[in-house]
Chains A and B, each alone.
Chain A
Amino acid sequence: MIRPALAAALLLAAAAAFPQSAEEIVRRLEANQRFRTQEAEGSLVITDRFGSRTKTFLSYAEGQERMLLAFTNVEEKGQKILRLRDEIYLYFPEAEEVVRLQGAALKESVMGSDFSYEDLTGEKSLLDLYEVKLSGRELLAGREQFLLELKARARGVAYPAQKLWVDVEEYLPRRAEYYALSGRLLKTLEVLEVRRVGGRSVMSRAIMRDAMKKSSSTEFRVQRVKLDEPLPKNIFSLEALSW
């Protein structure tokens, strides 16, 4: 009788000391970023060889499938991007029709940034798309990180390989690298700032760089976040876009 109990205890202890399988880390990471609703105010600073431009926005999200981005800066004031599952709609205050993006248009960049419309979609868990391997621990900016290596399970995944640095204490991503099939580095994401909101940690500043274009980067800042608070009714609908 004693032996099985001992074995179980030993196992538990081991689990406590090395609690993480790679999958477990990803699950906790994703759980950490999952909200019932999210409301935020932020900005994008887009830099390319012609210089820098700032776009400010309000964003609303519900679960993983619905999102609304409303721009508030002068140049694009009133423009909205609505995501419903895999569909993307654009609303322009000066246009009568709502534009539905399809096919090749989804691969275009949002406002000339290093994000594409495609990057906004995709509610699947990383675990559905990638095989995950824990390849060790590293220090980044003085904090310890898990270093995960992700390999796409299927062929249709935009980035066939990723490296992900996950903060050991907060279970938030700190850095990500996106690779092409050839193994060439395409983009890097660096999380510059994390903020505590209602007892949870949220990324509040991150920068995406195009590794092939030196002068190109997109910085993403969140000034204000509200989590799990009720959102205005029906905002994720085509009819509501023209508000």
Chain B
Amino acid sequence: MKFLLSLAWKNLSRYRRRTTITAVALAVGVAVFIWMDGWLLGAELESRRNIIWYEAGAAKVLNQEYLEQIQNLPLKQVVEDAAGVERALASLGLEATRRAVFSGELFLGEGSLFVKAVALDPATDGRVFRLQETVRQGRFLQTGEPETLLGEWLARDLGAAVGDWVTVRARSRFGAFQTLDLQIVGILNCPNPVINQGTIFLPLDLADQALELEGAVSEIALAFPEWQEPEARLGQIRRALAGFPELAVADWQELARDFLAIAEGKRAGTGMLLLLIFIIAAVGISNTMLMAVYERVREIGMMRALGMRDLSIRLAFLLEAGGIGLIGSALGLVLGAALNWYMVRWGLDLSAFIGDMQVGYRVHSVFRSAWHPQALVGAVVFGVLASMLISFIPSSRALRKRITDCLRHV
């Protein structure tokens, strides 16, 4: 066995050109597959993130009656004892933040629009949501200040800019009219269009006071670490909240049922691309590998003439193919991972190609990938196994021939 290993290694280094060409074919295939898969997964996660990061969190604790008529954003149905709920959940080690959500009419100058207003706690919101990262102009909210953030499209529709004062007319928790004067401190460009188009944000303590909330909130949004089983989590949360029969726990899937489906659609259309990539890569690998072995029928004949056993020859070729597979896949892994890393870290900004539309809407144009460990491992394993398997066909055919035929083979 040791002999066979060293033979395979010697062959690999002796036919350097062949090794290189075959390995490169393999590497490019593996790399493109990894890259593409990461991108598609990224696109899929993107929509999911748009919901989780900006709208729903991983799950929310809300009043059961609120959940039933959530489209109306009724401030009457609240989570009364937010602190109590957080204490009950403390042992689960989840990140949590409080939000109060209400509908209101936003006034700026002569114009007005109905909006969804989200009052958040600037100190803890970042534990669950990533709104802060989407601030394109100005800055994020500060506790206790009469400030607001609004989405880019909404700002455009209203003709609002950072520094402008707006007034929001809403009803308090108990139904009294209330007005809030807020200064725009930041404009968001959130990948989630719902937020870009019709949502404003303000500090929770301000809303608490103005809307007579007295510590009650509409929801407590929770973040789960990504690797956790959400079903088990929800069960734990429900048990922990047994003392609050009026409350319900809804996960992001329930909160954003419609929106979620977009991701499914994208996946369906692009899964085909992945399949095609896989086919090309497989063909590339098998062709070069087939060629590499067929060209060596003479060599096989020589080995047999020298008295080497068939099994050993087969093994030697398998090991050699596995070696090429390993080199190529490793190369591909490095290349693909590097590409993917760039795509995860920085994303691919295609805005230069898309250009600024005359109509004035900016579409989200940075595509980001995601890490997909299964695909990384899978691509490498497939690269190695496929190489070995494919080399098996021509080598066993050569072994079935007579030695003299083998030697005569060009």
Contact = CB atoms under 8 A, between A and B. Distances in A.
Direct contact of A and B (CB under 8 A): yes
Interface of A: 49, 103-104, 107, 152, 154-160, 178-182, 184, 186, 212-215
B365 interface: no
B158 interface: no
Contact of A186 (B72, B175, B177, B180): B177
B176 A213 contact: no
B72 A180 contact: no
A159 B110 contact: no
Contacts of A178: 177
B164 to A, nearest CB: 16
A155 B176 contact: yes
Most buried by B among A152, A154, A156, A157: A156
Given A107-B171, A155-B212, A212-B169, A180 B177 contact: yes
A158 B69 contact: no
Most B CB within 10 A of own CB, among A178, A179, A182, A214: A182
Contact of A158 (B110, B176, B181): B176
Given A156-B174, A179-B177, A180-B179, 9 more contacts: A104-B72, A155-B175, A159-B176, A159-B177, A178-B177, A181-B212, A182-B179, A184-B167, A215-B110
Secondary structure of the A contact surface, majority rule: loop
Interface in B279-295: none
Contacts of A103: 69, 72, 74
A213 B167 CA distance: 12
Chain B: interface residue count, which band?
A: 20 to 34
A155 B173 CA distance: 9
What 8 pairs between A and B have smallest CB-CB spacing?
Answer: A155-B174, A104-B72, A184-B179, A181-B178, A156-B174, A180-B177, A180-B179, A160-B176
Given A181-B210, A212-B167, A157 B176 contact: yes
Interface of B: 69, 72, 74, 107, 110, 112, 167, 169, 171-181, 210, 212
A6 B178 CA distance: 51
A182 B181 CA distance: 9
B110 A155 contact: no
A212 B107 contact: yes
Contacts of B171: 107, 158
A100 to B, nearest CB: 16
Interface-central residue, B72, B175, B180, B210, by most chain A CB under 10 Å = B175
B74 A104 contact: yes
Given A104-B72, A186-B169, A180 B178 contact: yes
A103 B69 CA distance: 10
B112 A182 contact: no
A156 B179 contact: no
Nearest to B112: A213
Contacts of B112: 212-213
Contacts of A213: 107, 112
26 contacts: A49-B110, A103-B74, A104-B69, A104-B72, A107-B171, A155-B172, A155-B176, A156-B174, A156-B176, A157-B175, A157-B176, A158-B175, A159-B177, A160-B177, A178-B177, A181-B172, A181-B210, A181-B212, A182-B179, A182-B180, A182-B181, A186-B177, A212-B167, A213-B112, A214-B110, A215-B110
A243 B316 CA distance: 98
A156 B110 contact: no
